[in-house]
Amino acid sequence: MNSVVVHYQEVALKGKNRPWFISRLVANLRAAVADLDVRSVRPLVGRIELTLGPTAKYDEVRDRIQHVFGVANCSRAGRSGRSLDEMAQAILADARDLEPESFRVSVRRADKRYPLRSPEVEREVGGRIKQARGWKVNLDNPALTVGIEILNDHAFYFFGKDKGPGGLPTGSGGRVACLLSGGIDSPVATWRMMKRGCQALLVHFHSYPFLSRASQEKARELAALLTRYQLHSRLFLVAFGEIQRQVVLSVPAALRVVVYRRLMLRIAERIAKDQGAGALVTGEVIGQVASQTLENMSVIGSVASLPVLRPLVGMDKEEIVAQAERIGTYEISIVPDQDCCQLFTPKHPATRARLDEVLAAEGLLPVEELVAGAVAAAEVEEFAFPAAATPAGEGTRG
- Residues near ligand ATP (CB under 6 A): 179-181, 183-186, 203-205, 264, 282-284, 288-289, 291-292, 339-341
Min CB(292)–ligand ATP separation in Å: 6
Residue 271 burial by CB count (10 A; 0-12/13-18/19+): exposed, middle or buried?
buried
Q: What's the sign of the alpha-carbon dihedral 231, 318, 213, 209? A: positive
Nearer to ligand ATP, 94 or 284 (CB): 284
Nearer to Mg ion, 181 or 329 (CB): 181
Min CB(375)–Mg ion separation in Å: 21
The interface partner of residue 288, options being Mg ion, ligand ATP, none and the CB cut-off 5 to 8 Å by kind, is ligand ATP
215 binds Mg ion (CB under 5 A): no
Nearer to ligand ATP, 36 or 290 (CB): 290
Nearest to 303 by CA among 346, 254, 350, 268: 268
Nearer to Mg ion, 43 or 241 (CB): 241
190 binds Mg ion (CB under 5 A): no
Tell me which H or E stretch contains 103: strand 103-109
Min CB(312)–ligand ATP separation in Å: 8
- CA dist 98 and 389 (Å) reads 37
Min CB(197)–ligand ATP separation in Å: 20
Give 258's Cβ-side CA count (13 Å radius).
34
Among 75, 172, 181, 282, binds Mg ion (CB under 5 A): 181
The interface partner of residue 284, options being Mg ion, ligand ATP, none and the CB cut-off 5 to 8 Å by kind, is ligand ATP
Tell me which H or E stretch contains 122: helix 118-133
329 binds Mg ion (CB under 5 A): no
- CA dist 200 and 197 (Å) reads 9
Which range binds Mg ion by CB under 5 A, 13-21, 175-183, 203-211, 248-256?
175-183
The interface partner of residue 80, options being ligand ATP, Mg ion, none and the CB cut-off 5 to 8 Å by kind, is none
Phi and psi based region of residue 181 (left: phi greater than 0; alpha: psi -120 to 50; beta: remaining): beta
Contacts of 49 (CB under 8 A, 6+ apart): 3, 4, 5, 6, 40, 41, 42, 77, 156
Min CB(283)–Mg ion separation in Å: 8
183 binds Mg ion (CB under 5 A): yes
Min CB(340)–ligand ATP separation in Å: 5
Pairing of strands 47-52, 38-44: antiparallel
283 binds Mg ion (CB under 5 A): no
From residue 125 to residue 164, the character string flagging contacts with Mg ion as x (rule: CB under 5 A) and all else as - is: ----------------------------------------
Nearest to 241 by CA among 263, 223, 225: 263
What is each CA distance from 81 to 104, 148, 395, in whole angstroms?
A: 20, 11, 39
Which range binds Mg ion by CB under 5 A, 14-22, 115-123, 178-186, 350-358?
178-186
**How many Cβ atoms from other residues are within 10 Å of residue 80's Cβ?**
20
